[in-house]
A and B are shown apart, each in its own frame.
Chain A
Amino acid sequence: MEDKLKIIVFAGTFIMVVVFVFIFLFMIIYERKRSSYKAELSRLELQHQKKLLEAIITTQENEKQEFAAELHDSLSQILTTQLMTLHGLETAIKNPEYSLDNLPNTIDQLKTLNKQSISETRSISRKLMPVVLNDFGLIEALTELITKVNESGSVKANLYKPSEDIRFPADIERALYRVSQELINNTIKYAHAKLIEIKVEVENDSINYQYSDDGIGFEVNEKIGKGIGLLSMQSRISAVNGKIQFTSSPDSGYQVSVIIPLKSSI
């Protein structure tokens, strides 16, 4: 009887020891896997941050280049013409045979050029920062943008906005406006879409922004790796503590969801 008891006690103890050793080994293996998983996560996070930073720099460089090109191609040309007209007038005045009858024409010409340069400056300024965005806010600016898109006739666009007039912090309004411009630009250039829809809502102290088109779509993962367009949008939204998610696949249109918390940014 004593032997039988010993066997059972031994068997019971053995089972418990085996299970405890198994759990202990499991914990060791799991912890090792966890530390390498953490290292991999931080590496990916760092890589992503680096890509975002590169996208911010590239976007800024592109904007500067565009701005420089606008100044060179339009405003600079008008001012050069103005200067040449003034030089011509100076030379003509020095000529004793110059008739003052020609002066009003030259002044009119200079006035016209001056008006053109003012108009061009305003146009560049509007492109850089739309007046309506500063004065009336994101919703009005998006309404104007949508109206322009509809007037162009290339695609139909709808905006679903909050019923009451609402202003958000300036950095958020700028970020969302730029993202909308970029998205509309992409849709018009590449998507062959017939319809664009933008929805802006305020839910649980967050701005919920949805963009969609019914175009040809694309593989999101491929695009994020290649172009800076999506990364630049991501960087703009990250800068205001928001999250952006792109959803698309070939032939299923393009959907973008942005959530920006309002509490932290106010």
Chain B
Amino acid sequence: MRPFLWYIFISVVSELNSFFLRHFFKNNMVNFHLYTNFEFVILSIFFINTINKSIFKKIVVILAVLFPLGYLIHNIISNLFLKFNPLFLTLETFVLAIYGLYYFYNRIINEAPDTDLIKDPIFWIHSGMLLYFLGNTFLFMIYSYSANLQLGWHASIWHIHSVLNMSSYLIYSYGLLLYKPWKTSLR
């Protein structure tokens, strides 16, 4: 659970930083690139902690190392440091959505069904992640497509993205409320 709490914390910091960068420098893409890589790595760590298959864990570790490297190389080659990188963003959300789907598969096939899902914070966090990343995979694919055809869909895509973002954060909040150390410290 700790990696996820770090993820939430860094997300808030990054959001604030992004706001100030945009306000003062008109471009916050460097912050966005850093955040995307951080998001991928920290959610991979969170995912590793919630599954029990060692082979899949190894694959996740390898991808967590390769992704930032690939991202950096692609940004250098395509000179995208101050621009949006839809390819790697789609790739990131796609891989994290696959992790989410694997979590559900693993939960139903390999793990003993001995917990109450309604009271399981990890289940709700994975549900939020699946909603956000699966939804965004399609959205970023549409984004790449519309960018290639010079179609003006971008604003609408970001509106849908905001709805997905809010929905997933609502689910995360419910999951975090169920988190036991959290509950005891609130009492």
Contact = CB atoms under 8 A, between A and B. Distances in A.
Interface in B100-145: 104, 107-108, 112-114, 116-118, 127, 130-131, 134-135, 138-139, 142
Contacts of B104: 22, 26
Contacts of A22: 104, 130
Interface in A3-24: 4-5, 8-9, 11-12, 15-16, 19-20, 22-23
A1 B153 CA distance: 8
Contact of B127 (A9, A23, A29, A33): A23
B117 A27 contact: yes
A33 B112 CA distance: 9
B112 A15 contact: no
A12 B153 contact: no
B160 A23 contact: no
B163 interface: yes
B102 to A, nearest CB: 13
Contacts of A26: 104, 108
A8 B138 CA distance: 10
A34 interface: yes
B114 A19 contact: no
Contact of B113 (A4, A11, A30): A30
Contacts of B127: 23
B142 A11 contact: yes
B114 A34 contact: yes
A37 B117 contact: no
B117 A31 contact: yes
Nearest to A19: B131
Nearest to A20: B131
A22 B153 CA distance: 28
B130 A34 contact: no
A8 B130 CA distance: 19
A16 B108 contact: no
Interface residues of A, number: 21
Nearest to B127: A23
B52 interface: no
A4 B131 contact: no
Contacts of A30: 107-108, 113, 117
B158 to A, nearest CB: 10
A34 B107 CA distance: 11
Contacts of A37: 112-114
Nearest to B134: A19
A24 B108 CA distance: 13
B163 A19 contact: no
A79 B81 CA distance: 105
B55 interface: no
A31 B130 CA distance: 20
Contacts of B60: none
A156 B59 CA distance: 51
A15 B114 CA distance: 30
Contact of A4 (B107, B153, B160): B153
B152 to A, nearest CB: 7
A32 to B, nearest CB: 9
B164 A12 contact: yes
Given A16-B135, A33-B113, A8 B160 contact: yes
B171 to A, nearest CB: 9
Contact of B160 (A12, A19, A33): A12
B114 A12 contact: no
- Give the 8 A-B CB pairs with smallest separation, nearest first: A12-B160, A34-B113, A15-B135, A33-B113, A8-B156, A19-B131, A37-B113, A23-B127
Interface of A: 1, 4-5, 8-9, 11-12, 15-16, 19-20, 22-23, 26-27, 29-31, 33-34, 37
14 contacts: A1-B152, A4-B153, A11-B142, A12-B163, A15-B134, A16-B131, A16-B163, A19-B134, A22-B130, A30-B117, A31-B117, A33-B108, A34-B113, A34-B116
